[in-house]
Amino acid sequence: MATNAADASVSNALQPGTRAPEFSLLAAPGQPVTLSELEGPVVLIFYPADWSPVCSDELSMFESANGLFSDRGAQLVGIAVDSVWSHVAFKAERRLNFPLLADFHPKGEVGRSYGVYRDQDGTTERALFVLDAEHDIAWSHVSPIGISPGVDGALRAVEALS
């Protein structure tokens, strides 16, 4: 995991070699996504909020690279504390083709289980977790909240699973 002194709040993020905590969150009304039902490698993209400029850019970059992840058998999944209705509108506006999951109620429960919930502002860190096919964490990275991590690190981590 990448950290620096200015980003000390990320010390609780789960590390590689840890079993990914199970979850079931809504991608749309009545459409839950459960981690254990996802096959193959999974890239979890925790982001602070729909509609913010950095989050919009970050998720658009992942959408542009979605085919590269898919070609390697990996699925992208975004997670934020916004409501399912916000995610539905944001996903349509940004033309995203991977699920955005609502960690809305109880707020931030999944973010907390991955060690990336920010109590100080009620959002999550900007964090990436690459899970192997057994859903163990193979790679994790937390960026400063205002900086997009890009897709390169996660893509290299997925490639390393092959």
84-94 and 53-64 helices, crossing angle to 10°: 60
Closest CA to 105 of 25, 12, 21: 25
Q: Which two tokens stand for residue 115?
A: 């060690």
Phi, psi of 150, deg, nearest 5: 70, -175
Contact 56, 98 (CB under 8 A): no
Spatial neighbors of 37 by CB under 8 A, at least 6 apart, are none
Active site members: 55
| Pairwise CA distance, residues 42 & 77, whole Å | 7
